[in-house]
Amino acid sequence: MDHFNYHAGELHAEDVPLSRIAAEVGTPVYVYSAATLTRHFGLFRQALAWTDHLVCFAVKANSNLAVLKLLGDLGAGMDVVSGGEYARARAAGVPGDRIVFSGVGKTLAEMRQAIEGGIRQFNIESEPEMRALSTLAASMGAVVPVAVRVNPDVDAKTHEKIATGKSENKFGIPIARAREVYAEAASLPGLRVVGVDVHIGSQLTDLDPYRAAYAKVADLTRALRADGHAITRLDLGGGLGIPYRRDNNAPPLPLEYGQVIRETVGDLGCEIEIEPGRNIVGNAGILLSQVIYVKQGEGRDFLIVDAAMNDLARPAMYGAHHDIVPVIEPAVGAAVRPFDVVGPVCESGDTFQKGADLPRMAAGDLVAFRSAGAYGAVMASEYNSRPLVPEVLVRGDHFAVIRTRPTFEEMLARDSIPAWL
């Protein structure tokens, strides 16, 4: 469920008509719904209400400060994978003891930043990282909580570029070697073992891979406790999928996901951490764009819009689908015809959808790319020297610009020409 619906013949974000945002902010522009963010976060808390838990929003899905502030004020923790994301979480008012630092390539500078600023735990991805963290923490006179990320070799049955739990993926330590790694972690200064971490991928639409991975985590937890480790937290990752196509069967609900957690690890008495990102913010956002031209091609028609692959990279990068809908509601029974919806970037890869069934369209019409709140603005670039797309947050009948579109002058000012040129 989201809060982007037609009212009086026009698509609205909550109670704000999208044409109003287009007129005041311009296009392309990302638009987020505060009500949808609040609702989706609440569903995960409800799913884990049976146990002690912390829902840590995956900042990589959407790192806008206003989004992080909204979720943080609701009680969310944050899952970060870089020093920049850590800085954003803190700037949004999230305390360090609600921030989990993940990621396969933490630098010493990032580790120091989190130790000095406060951290709930580091999720260790490799033995070299573990030893580096130990040396740094000890030199700072600190003892930091850690969980080791284990790779359970479970096929998440998702896109190959976002699968993280198979043996050939770069993430985590093979679960078969976990006990020896934990033994070393317990012997190192500056580290305090508190939990086990696992994450098998993103956009999962089947609960069976979770069930298989969490069963392995449960067995490992019992073995680690037998070895003398005080395992009090289980970080079970995120990755629950969202419906990108309105005509498809809906993925499992957070409540169903929570029941799998309860059935597999609920008897261990551990605090549960999860790291949803896409499922909280994906359907809470749309990308609003304007038609530039309708072009007749050889055997096909093109809808050329002002959004491009630099604004929304997922279709070009992953072959991802986003439903594209007109902002003005078509009349009941209105004829539709197929369009290839493309952007103005000088690459054939700048294609959002081929054969999208849309009503008669004309230059100046507005369209919305649904389910664009996750991995949209965060992956945007200035390719072709196109300004970064702005972002808007809606609450009820009002909205605010939460990231402005830079001017060409601001873009150019970041470059410098050496005096010898």
Dihedral sign, Cα of residue 39, residue 393, residue 405, residue 21? positive
Confidence of residue 168 (pLDDT cuts 50, 70, 90): low
Could you give the residue range(s) of every CATH 2.40.37.10 domain in the chain?
A: 4-31+282-413
Q: Which helix (H) or strand (E) holds 192?
A: strand 191-197
How far apart are alpha carbons 169 and 235 in whole angstroms? Answer: 19
Residues 288-311 pLDDT 10s: 999 999 999 888 899 999 999 999
Average pLDDT, the chain: 94
Backbone angles phi, psi at 323, to 5 degrees: -60, 135
Q: Which of these, 119, 75, 81, lies nearest to 97 by C-alpha position?
A: 119
Under the banding of pLDDT at 50, 70 and 90, the label for residue 2 is confident
Q: Please tell me the predicted confidence (pLDDT) of residue 314.
A: 96
Q: Please state, as a whole number, how many other Cβ atoms lie within 10 Å of the Cβ of residue 263.
A: 13
| pLDDT above 80: residue 261 | yes
Whether 270 is catalytic: no
pLDDT the model gives residue 297: 82
Residue 154 has pLDDT above 90, yes or no: no
Determine the pLDDT at residue 268: 98
Residue 139 has pLDDT above 50, yes or no: yes
Please, what is the Cα angle at 269 between 264 and 271, to 5 degrees?
90
Domain with CATH 3.20.20.10 in the chain: 103-274
Mean pLDDT for 265-287 is: 97
Active-site residue, selected from the candidate residues 8, 346, 362, 419:
346
Please give the distance of CA 53 from its chain centroid, rounded to a whole number: 20
pLDDT in tens, 180-210: 999 999 999 999 999 999 998 888 889 999 9
pLDDT over threshold 70, residue 157? no
Provide the CA 329 distance to its chain's centre, in angstroms: 30
Is residue 62 a contact partner of residue 76, using CB atoms and an 8 Å limit?
Answer: no
Rounded average pLDDT over 137-144: 98
Single-letter amino acid code for the residue at 68? L
- What gap in Å lies between CA 160 and CA 2, rounded to an integer? 28
Nearest to 276 by CA among 89, 74, 76: 76
For residue 250, what pLDDT band results from cuts at 50, 70 and 90? confident
Q: What pLDDT, on a 0 to 100 scale, did the predictor assign at position 165?
A: 42
Binding positions for pyridoxal 5'-phosphate: 239, 275-278, 375
- 103-274 CATH fold: TIM Barrel (3.20.20)
Supply the pTM of this predicted model: 0.94
DSSP assignment of 240-291, as one string? B---SSTTSPPPPPHHHHHHHHHHHHGGG-PEEEE---HHHHGGGEEEEEEE
pLDDT of 80-98, one tens digit each?
Answer: 999 999 999 999 999 999 9
| Selection from 90, 117, 127, 85 nearest residue 102 by Cα | 85
The predicted pLDDT at position 54 comes to 98
In whole angstroms, what is the distance from residue 21 CA to residue 245 CA? 25
Q: For residue 211, give Cα distances in angstroms to 151, 250, 264, 265.
A: 14, 19, 7, 10
Average confidence (pLDDT) over 134-160 = 86
Which CATH fold would you assign to the domain 4-31+282-413?
Lyase, Ornithine Decarboxylase; Chain A, domain 1 (2.40.37)
Query: What is the rounded average pLDDT of the residues 209-231?
Result: 96
Is 42's pLDDT higher than 60? yes
